[in-house]
Amino acid sequence: MCGRFSITMPSDEIAQLFEAIPDNNLPDVPNYNVCPTVDIHVVTGGSEAPRRLTAMRWGFVPGWYKKSNDGPLLINARAETIAEKPAFREAARQRRGLIVASGFYEWTKTPEGARAPWYIFARSGAPLVMAAVWQVWTGPDGAAQRTCAIVTTKANETTRHIHHRLPVLLEPAEWPLWLGEAGHGAARLMRPAPEDALQVHRVDHAVNSNRAVGADLIKPI
Question: Quick check: is 2 catalytic?
Answer: yes
Closest CA to 135 of 74, 213, 197: 74
Report the relative pairing of strands 21-22 and 49-58 from DSSP bridges.
parallel
Contact 202, 220 (CB under 8 A): yes
Contact 42, 25 (CB under 8 A): no
Question: Quick check: is 148 catalytic?
Answer: no
**Exactly one of 35, 106, 112, 181 is catalytic; which is it?**
106
Closest CA to 123 of 191, 200, 193: 200
Helix (H, G, I), strand (E, B) or coil at 12: helix
3-state DSSP helix/strand/coil % of the chain, to nearest 5: 15, 40, 45
Residues designated catalytic = 2, 106
